[in-house]
Amino acid sequence: MKLEGKNALITGGGSGIGLSIARGFAEEGCRVAIAGRRQEVIEKAVQTTNPPMLGHTVDVADRESVQQLFDWAAESLGQIDILVNAAGINIKNRSMEAMRPEQWDTVLKINATGAYNCMYAVLPQMRERRDGLVINISSISGKRAWDVGGVAYCASKFAMAALGTAVGNENGPNGVRVTNVYPGEVDTSILEQRPNPVSEEHRAGILQPEDMVGVLVAVACLPARAHVPELIVKPTNATFV
């Protein structure tokens, strides 16, 4: 039980990478609360997970909704030792020509501003305790801009990465660590927003959500003096430049 005595709040925790991390942390003794936009998805994840988790709805792009989440977490979970920002979306119109301005706004609000909103809410308690870990689930698209990710998604993930690095540098002296994680292609529901359908063969050859768990448990178990600022996990058969 490597994380016994720790509390974690995970946004985007109802499915995909977020849910896999939540289950992995819970199995290591962590008390976990997951949050996401769709109540039915959160409820299903809570009901089908053992050890048990807590759940709450949130729209990370809405600061009032985020504050309500953190107020609830303070009462239901207690202090937040680990925050995982795993909420994220993409769109099918990925080129500058095809994308509409309101689609740009939506992607940036959820992927970048959403992470900011949650970090803004949790950092005061972490600074006060001089201890805490924030894990940002960015993307390989936050390391290199490519057409697979698309204009808005790449921009949002670059922004998320810069946010995490800057906040980590600022708050390291306060005992707060921020880890940016850059997964390559992962078989999650976000693939359904690809402009072209993804084959089952392709899905089988890329990362699975559970592939992220072991390394993130290891990051969360490090002593407070040790910090992993960046972490890249990619499919073995994918090139990296």
The domain spanning residue 126 has which CATH number?
3.40.50.720
153 is catalytic: yes
| Residue 240 in this model has a pLDDT that exceeds 80 | no
Domain tally, the chain:
1
Q: Across residues 39-56, what is the average pLDDT?
A: 94
Residue 2 lies in a domain: no
Q: Are 155 and 108 in contact (CB under 8 A)?
A: yes
Task: Please say whether the beta carbons of 207 and 183 come within 8 A.
Answer: yes
214, part of any domain: yes
N residues, the chain: 241
Task: State the residue range of the domain holding 100.
Answer: 7-233
Cβ atoms 85, 11 nearer than 8 A: yes
Residue 122 lies in a domain: yes
Residue 30: predicted pLDDT:
98
pLDDT-based confidence at residue 49 (cuts at 50, 70, 90):
confident
Q: What average pLDDT score do residues 188-216 get?
A: 94
Q: What is the pTM assigned to this prediction?
A: 0.96
Look at residue 241 and tell me whether its pLDDT is greater than 70. no
pLDDT, tens digit, 9 for 90 and up, residues 153-201: 999 999 999 999 999 999 999 999 999 999 999 999 999 999 988 999 9
Q: What is each CA distance from 69 to 27, 61, 62, 126, in whole angstroms?
A: 23, 12, 11, 17
Classify residue 240: in a domain, yes or no: no
Q: Is residue 132 part of a domain?
A: yes
